[in-house]
Amino acid sequence: MKTKEIAINLKNELLNQFEQHFDVFASANSDFVKDRRRKAAKIFKEIGFPSRNLESWRKTDLTKVLSKDYALNLSSKLEKNNIHDFFSCEINQFDTDLYTQVNGWCVEKQESPKVYENGCIVGSIKAAMHQYPELFEKHYGKYVTNEKNGLIALNSAIFSDGYFIYIPDGVDQDRTLQMVNIINSKKHEFVNARNLVILGKNARLKLVHCDDSIEFKNSLINSVTEVFIDSGAKLDYYKLQNKDEEAVILTNTFFHQEADSSLMSNTLILNGGLVRNDINVLLNGRGANADVVGLYLVDGKQFVDNHIYIDHAVSNCTSNTTFKGIADDEARSVFNGHVLVRQDAQQTLAFQNNHNIQLTNTSKIDTHPFLEIYADDVKCSHGATVGQLDKEALFYIMQRGICERNAKMLLMLAFVGEIVNKISLPTVQEYSHDLVTRRLKGELSACDQCSIECADPDKPLVFEIDMSKV
Amino acid sequence: MLSIKNLHVSINGKEIIKALDLEVNAGEVHAIMGPNGTGKSTLAAVIAGREIFEVTEGEILFEGKNLLEMPIEDRARAGVFLGFQYPIEIPGVSMTNFMRTAIDEIREYRGEKPMTAGEFLKYMKEKQKLVELQSKLSGRSVNEGFSGGEKKKNEIFQMAMLEPKLSFLDETDSGLDIDALRVVANGVNKLKSPDNATVVITHYQRLLDYIVPDFVHIMYNGRIVKTGDKDLALVLEEKGYDWIKKELGEELN
């Protein structure tokens, strides 16, 4: 039986635009990229958007969000308009090197990626593919393990821009890099962002990725991020998602880890209309370690779905997946954890946990822990819980004179603390703690301003328009 | 201070407390003794406001106010303290933050100025010293990883911090070795003043060697069946609860 395809209109429109504007939006692309784009478009044409008939999309229904009227950014006219909205975001108290994307386009002051004294290269992927074709072509598309995913195929076909980060062998990038992806548009933006992060042998990087929105308009971000972590390298990756209730974020992140490398991936989802994160980790070298943790706080009619796939391909690797969530009102959350331990992956340590608090009867929480083990000398465990706040603890706290609201707050903060406390950067941890507290108190609603301002909420968000570029 | 008249309490339709009367005045120490399952802990829980119990009849007045109409936190803010038989572990909530929040809310309720961070920490140290709680509290979660003795000492420490008017200590002595028992009892004695009252619920006379009660009540089958001075506890220790049962035999049957 032929499965019913969803969002045929949007799909056809995208493919039309792809054909019509290909020469324009891919004009500056190398043959390598052009070729990849065409191949991906062909796959997308075949399989389209994922539907609920697919097991991994059973709980996430895209029909509604894909039936909206989006502004597609493929033609040169739109591109020019966007490129010339040169925003730079003023942030305070948060000591990072900031790189901003607005509506899917990098808006750095200079078009070329920045080259640090230590050799690190950071900037627009669109620029990097010209200036560093060897580096780009060596890694681009190599770590996407799921070619037959319509969203990834679409992204590979029509991605606009994204960030490119290269940390050379042995370099410890002491500046924390912060990538902010802002949607600021009067139209319903459909953004396909593509990011590539390369860590050389024994390199170190701390990367913060924020998805924020400014305008209360429907927007859809479909992003693909590929991360290569060479042997002995260490990456701290923090993803913060704080979008408005109409926003749709679909992300696919691929981490490829070589021997003795180390990954800490921490995803904080504070707001969003529909959020779907697929995080894939391939442990490809002995002694690699991956900590993949996350937190989701959903209320109203928000929907969050996290799919975490850890592939233990070789022996002596460790992985630790911990996701926690709180669901209020009529919100829904889904957690899908899959740990694969291949036959050769002896001496694997793999742990997977998902814990949830359901505040209302009308909220819904799905959790699917799954271990698939083919090796016999391994230590693996998984645990999943859905519960309410501990009534005994509430009584104890209230007996000391604390009102119910604050008692619940203490318990919720304690519950989420495990995830927030795993953030190793003190400034990010402090800031995240503040955000989460405000979120739980109901003071941080869907963003009407860049959430980074929450470090100093009294200070208004300032956009500087670089007039020289207009 | 506390006046309980004709109190009847049920859980799931089963009556646990039957026509209980009790008067506690400022400056007094009361002990409630009695065999297991006679409703001692239920009484303490009802006074603190635990919602699983249903008061079917009677009244509880605290300083003239109807306690049964007050929410849990307001009872605490007005000065009712319950020392838990089994203190709850709350991972992730730090002792400092817990006490800070409680004191802030109590002071606000009483119309007092909030303490500064410095004042609070100093106050906390003083009280810790007063109740001989040597364990380091900062950075530790409420009762998490505390030994049995530490948990009970922590209850007395919280009592010292909150300065309640009426404290119910529910079997605070159970599970304590003799040294810990002495520390807990010393704490209670040091906190005693003409303005506050303490009710200790205990199985054993042992605690009463350290905390000398003005009144000893024996609770049996949901009622206070005998009240006397501290010597009643000694008689009870000697003769056991069967003596009470025998004495009450006719009446109960």
ipTM of this predicted structure: 0.95
pLDDT digits (tens, 9 = 90+) for A253-293: 999 999 999 999 999 998 888 999 999 999 999 999 999 99
Model confidence pTM above 0.90:
no
Q: Token digits for A101?
A: 């994307």
* Weakest mean pLDDT among A78-82, A93-97, A330-334: A78-82
B84 contacts A396? CB cut-off 8 A: yes
Q: Which CATH architecture has domain B2-252?
A: 3-Layer(aba) Sandwich (3.40)
A271-to-A240, A279, A326, B50 alpha-carbon distances in Å = 10, 19, 12, 35
- Mean pLDDT within A3-12: 73
A189-to-A279, A380, A391 alpha-carbon distances in Å = 24, 42, 44
A366-to-A59, A354, B47 alpha-carbon distances in Å = 9, 10, 40
The pLDDT score that the predictor gives to residue A197 is 97
B77-to-B41, B70, B102, B171 alpha-carbon distances in Å = 21, 10, 9, 23
* Portion 67-126 of B in contact with A at CB < 8 A: 71-73, 75-77, 81-82, 84, 87-88, 90-93, 97-99, 101-103, 105-106, 109
Q: Token digits for A451?
A: 């959430």
pLDDT digits (tens, 9 = 90+) for B148-206: 888 999 999 999 999 999 999 999 888 888 888 888 899 899 999 999 999 999 888 88
Residue B249: burial class (beta carbons within 10 Å; 0-12, 13-18, 19+): exposed
pLDDT digits (tens, 9 = 90+) for A426-461: 877 887 888 888 888 877 654 334 433 333 334 333
Q: Which of A395, A402, A418 sits opposite B105 (nearest CB)?
A: A402
Report the percent of chain A where pLDDT is more than 70. 86
Q: Which of B49, B92, B102 sits opposite A402 (nearest CB)?
A: B102
- Domain map (residue ranges) of chain A: 83-285+432-469, 390-422
Euclidean distance between CA atoms B253 and B250, whole angstroms: 5
Contact B157, B130 (CB under 8 A): no
Q: How many CB atoms lie within 10 A of CB B18?
A: 17
Shortest alpha-carbon distance between residue B219 and chain A (Å): 24
Residue A79 vs residue A204, higher pLDDT: A204
The pLDDT score that the predictor gives to residue A13 is 87
Euclidean distance between CA atoms A157 and A391, whole angstroms: 52
Q: Which of B46, B47, B93, B144 to mutate to test the interface with A (most CBs of A within 10 A)?
A: B93
Shortest alpha-carbon distance between residue A406 and chain B (Å): 8
Query: Residue A390's closest chain B neighbor by CA?
Result: B90
Helix (H) or strand (E) holding A419: helix A404-420
The pLDDT score that the predictor gives to residue B119 is 93
How sure is the predictor about A80, in pLDDT bands with cuts at 50, 70 and 90? very low
A385 to chain B: which residues are within 8 Å by CB?
A: none
pLDDT digits (tens, 9 = 90+) for A243-262: 777 888 999 999 999 999 99
- Domain map (residue ranges) of chain B: 2-252
